[in-house]
Amino acid sequence: MLNRRRLLTAGGLTLGGLVGGTLLLPRQEAAPAMAEGHRRMHMTPSGTSRSPAPFRVRMPVPRVLSPVSSHRDVDVYHQDIRASRVEMLPGVRTEVLGYGGAFVGPTLRVRQGRRVVVRYRNGLDRAVNTHLHGGHVAADSDGYPMDLIEPGRTRYYEYPNGQPGATLWYHDHTHHMEAEHVYRGMHGFYLIEGGDEKRLRLPARDYDVPIMLTDAHFAADGSLVYAPEDTPNRTTLLANGRPQPYFPVSARRYRFRLLNVSNFRTFHLSLDHDMTMVQIASDGGLLPAPVRRESVVLSPGERAEVVVDFGPCKLGDRVVLNDVSGPVLRFDVVAKAADDSRVPDVLRPLPPLPALGSGKTDREITLKVDMVRGAAYINDRVFDPNRVDIRVRRRSTEIWRITNLDTDIALDHNLHLHLVQFRILDRDGAPPLPGESGLKDTVLVPAGASVRIQVTFGDFLGRYLYHCHMLEHSVGGMMAQMEIVP
């Protein structure tokens, strides 16, 4: 078992070395930063993030964006990206960068099979872009790091929504800036409703609630502190942009779509009062069958949809969703309500795994940080937009083995692939964890572990990224690209 504090501070250490140190300084000046990092490794986090007492503010639900126009086969949306000052801590305004000026951008709720076009207008003073995380989209709508929207300009992105219903999310992916931009608010939900979902009668409408989890470091004046090496000081936990809020619920079933957008923290979530969560979906959509979970682990970028049944609760009951580091959110049971929702035993069959000739591993992917050079690597190289790391044939199926080599500093990573949803075959030869048997686009790879995935590529051609979604690591170089070729 990893020691949690060591793991968190190891992140700070690595990032300090990676970005705060070497990448910005000549080599000889980087050494003291490393030594400083080593000292910090055995200390408690030093920062004082301003945090109110828990459960003082109500958790908002991000507003749902309406299309500006609807045509026979496409809905058109407009999104403005701008800076604004919003209330995150009670009674204080914090400057954020966000879609619609919100820390959690508006939710797009779209239907499987119905095409969507989004016009993004960049009202910021810097170039940015948008990536649809988990989406099967053409390369020129994928938010490639060098493919940007200049300040004052607009750009159209097209999302075909041909994939099964799933909880996706959108966020900035600007080269070397994605970590800071996402931290400061450039993210929102994108929910595809599957054509098969209505008949399942899962909790819907007001009882289907997206919850974006992250962490932050607030200065005394309420501003968001961002520094790559500051991960240990991001100690304020936020749900939909508010610190440890409460959320009023009725005594019935809810569908919660949990998403971790933090740059580094892995959430280990559980409910108190021995309540269990029933997981119904992972990154790429519904699981074949529901899975009861005592706890749900979400690394950065991952999603889990769970159904929680407050039906047995009494009015006035309070149920806390906890992370290992403290409470995240409290559900307050305030009303009775009729409930004709259910969780069927069978949800959505997985697409059959294509038969593989030999079943052998096609790609070896290694993840490692280099403490001496202060860089983060995939297969011993930092990201280079001018280099194609691997070529993949359109419509082919491959097995990748992803190995985290950072055993010595006990540093976890994960791996996210753009464009595709994959299947986890095994973890160090053992079956995937509960809740991991469905479609995934991001997988946690703990220090020393090897995970094998099977991935089938579709029809889109072009260059797509794969990277660690601990965003200071991707900024530090732990990112690579594949080119899908005919």
Q: How far is the CB of 182 from ligand C2O (least distance, A)?
A: 8
What, of ligand C2O, Cu ion, none, does residue 468 touch, CB below 5 to 8 Å by kind?
Answer: Cu ion
Choose between 106 and 284: whose C-beta lies nearer to Cu ion: 284
* 118: its two tokens: 């989004």
Residue from 257, 285, 323, 301 nearest 413 by CA: 301
Q: How far is the CB of 484 from ligand C2O (least distance, A)?
A: 16
Q: What is the total count of residues that contact ligand C2O (CB under 6 A)?
A: 10
Interface with Cu ion (CB under 5 A), residue from 293, 427, 467, 473:
473
Output the furthest CA–CA distance in the chain (Å, rounded): 67
List the interface residues with ligand C2O, window 294-333 (CB under 6 A): 301
Q: How far is the CB of 415 from ligand C2O (least distance, A)?
A: 11
Interface with ligand C2O (CB under 6 A), residue from 209, 465, 468, 484:
465
SS3 321: strand
Residue 140 CA neighbour count, 13 Å, CB half: 4
Letters for 134-173 (x = contact with ligand C2O by CB under 6 A, - = none) are -------------------------------------x-x
Q: Which residues pair with 132 in a beta bridge?
A: 170
Please report the beta strands in 261-378, taking only residues with DSSP state E, as ranges in sequence order: 267-271, 277-282, 285-293, 296-298, 303-309, 318-323, 326-336, 363-370, 375-378
Residue range at the interface with ligand C2O (CB under 6 A); choices 221-229, 273-281, 324-332, 463-471: 463-471
Interface with Cu ion (CB under 5 A), residue from 97, 249, 453, 468:
468
Residue from 298, 243, 240 nearest 266 by CA: 298
Interface with ligand C2O (CB under 6 A), residue from 50, 133, 252, 303:
133
Residue 147 has what DSSP assignment?
Answer: -
Choose between 348 and 418: whose C-beta lies nearer to ligand C2O: 418
Residue range at the interface with ligand C2O (CB under 6 A); choices 64-72, 369-377, 443-451, 461-469: 461-469
* 397: its two tokens: 């199926």
* 243: its two tokens: 């610190």
- Please spell the DSSP secondary structure of 113-145, one letter per residue: T-EEEEEEEE-SSS-B--EEET----GGGS--T
Residue 473 contacts ligand C2O per CB under 6 A = no
Residue range at the interface with ligand C2O (CB under 6 A); choices 331-339, 359-367, 370-378, 465-473: 465-473
Q: How far is the CB of 468 from Cu ion (least distance, A)?
A: 3
430, 25 in Cβ contact below 8 A? Answer: no
429, 29 in Cβ contact below 8 A? Answer: no
Angle, alpha carbons 52-219-101 (nearest 5°): 85
What, of Cu ion, ligand C2O, none, does residue 181 touch, CB below 5 to 8 Å by kind?
Answer: none
Q: Chain centroid to CA 74: how far?
A: 27
Q: Work out whether strand 450-456 and strand 397-404 pair parallel, antiparallel, or are unpaired.
A: antiparallel
List the interface residues with ligand C2O, window 245-304 (CB under 6 A): 301
Length of the chain, please?
486
What, of Cu ion, ligand C2O, none, does residue 37 touch, CB below 5 to 8 Å by kind?
Answer: none
What lies within 8 Å, CB to CB, of 109 at 6+ separation is: 64, 191, 193
Interface with ligand C2O (CB under 6 A), residue from 242, 253, 413, 467:
467
List residues binding ligand C2O (CB under 6 A): 131, 133, 171, 173, 301, 416, 418, 465, 467, 469
List residues binding Cu ion (CB under 5 A): 133, 413, 418, 468, 470, 473
